[in-house]
Copies of this chain bind each other. A is one copy, B any other.
Amino acid sequence: MNISAAAAASGLSSKTIRYYEDIELIPPASRADNGYRYYDVSAVEQLRFVHQARLVGFSVAECRQLLELQSNSQRHSAHVKSLVLEKCDQLEQRIEELLQMQSMLRDLASRCSGNEGPDCAILDELGRGSAHE
Contact = CB atoms under 8 A, between A and B. Distances in A.
A127 B70 contact: yes
A69 interface: yes
Interface in A41-92: 45-46, 48-49, 51-53, 55-57, 66, 69-70, 72-78, 80-82, 84-85, 87-88, 91-92
A102 B86 CA distance: 11
A57 B69 CA distance: 36
A95 B56 CA distance: 13
Nearest to A108: B84
Given A76-B115, A78-B116, A69 B109 contact: no
3 closest cross-chain pairs (CB), A and B? A48-B129, A77-B120, A81-B114
Given A52-B126, A80-B112, A91 B120 contact: no
A120 to B, nearest CB: 4
